[in-house]
Amino acid sequence: MKSSIVIDNVFKSVLFLCVAMTLLVTATVILILGTESFIFFQKVSIFDFLFGLKWEPLLEPKSFGVLPLVAGTFLVVVGAIALALPAGILIATYLSEFASERSRSFIKPALEILAGIPTVVYGFFALTFITPVIRTVLPQTEVFNALSAAIVVGVMILPMVASLCDDGFRSLPRSLKEGAYGLGATTFEVIRYILIPASGSRIGAAVVLAVSRAVGETMAVTLAAGATPKLTANPLESIQTMTSYIVQVSMGDTPRGGIEYMTCFAVGALLFVMTFAMNFIGNYFINKMKWEQA
């Protein structure tokens, strides 16, 4: 059966090639974003790009200060996290501490459905439902506004935050909880003083990953938040995020190879650096804990 020894080696090599491809994908992304932005930064100073306060690449006189896009992204992300983090922790608590088997059996699938709804649907929901509701309460709100996008992005990342927190609570030894309950602590006290501090790094990692996800979110903000790059802290105004700028350029008939087109890659590179850093940190911590447990 010598032939099957040969097959053994060939088989392993083929599998290895597939694994190598995953590294190749990352490398290619870095290469592409790197070269395209390098060309861009020969024409526009990197300093003006990173610290400029005005983003008007499609109008004359052009200006390429990315801060308004970053600020718009930031506004949406902060709002989304402010909604999703407390809600996620409360849902995780409910699921792990006092939901009955029956309610778990429909809450978990419902959260999975929530997580599986395409982002374009969320965007549509924000535009046609959440925004009108906000405008009834706060009539000064613009048709496109950051608040509506933030709410819907918050809902979108909620299942992820809840399930990561739930994993965090579950990874703790039972004895920790039981000891505290044994001393007569209430559920609130156990969560507040035992579970959250003890799974702090997990929750931290969850937040980092959720922020990264929200930063990269595209369709919901494109539909709901508008296309007005603007440095503002007012969530009721129209803004533009990094992602929705890229979509805007792709939808338009901006000539390929032109400087406006290259801005896509410069903004994309910035987006990549931000999310890559956050994903790396978040995944590193989550994996590290897995390795230590193993």
Query: Which CB, 98 or 174, lies closer to other proteins?
Result: 98
Task: Determine, following the binding rule CB under 8 A, whether residue 58 of this chain makes contact with other proteins.
Answer: no
Task: Determine, following the binding rule CB under 8 A, whether residue 165 of this chain makes contact with other proteins.
Answer: no
Residue with tokens 């861009």: 40
C-alpha separations of 93 from 89, 112, 189, 190, 207 in Å: 6, 17, 12, 10, 16
CB 129 → other proteins: shortest distance, Å?
5
Q: Specify the stretch interacting with other proteins by CB under 8 A; choose among 16-24, 46-54, 172-180, 230-238.
A: 16-24
* Options 59, 98, 137, 139; binder of other proteins; rule CB under 8 A: 98
Residues 166-195 that bind other proteins (CB under 8 A): 186-189, 191
Task: Determine, following the binding rule CB under 8 A, whether residue 197 of this chain makes contact with other proteins.
Answer: no
Task: Determine, following the binding rule CB under 8 A, whether residue 59 of this chain makes contact with other proteins.
Answer: no
Query: Which CB, 75 or 214, lies closer to other proteins?
Result: 214
Residue 247 CA to residue 7 CA, distance in Å, equals 47
Residues 240-259 that bind other proteins (CB under 8 A): 243, 246-247, 250-251
Pull the structure tokens for residue 243: 């992602």
**Cβ neighbours of residue 164 closer than 8 Å, sequence gap 6 or more:** 88, 202, 203, 205, 206, 209, 210
Residue 33 CA to residue 273 CA, distance in Å, equals 10
- Give 64's strand partners: 55
Query: Which CB, 141 or 212, lies closer to other proteins?
Result: 212
Q: H or E segment at 88? A: helix 67-93
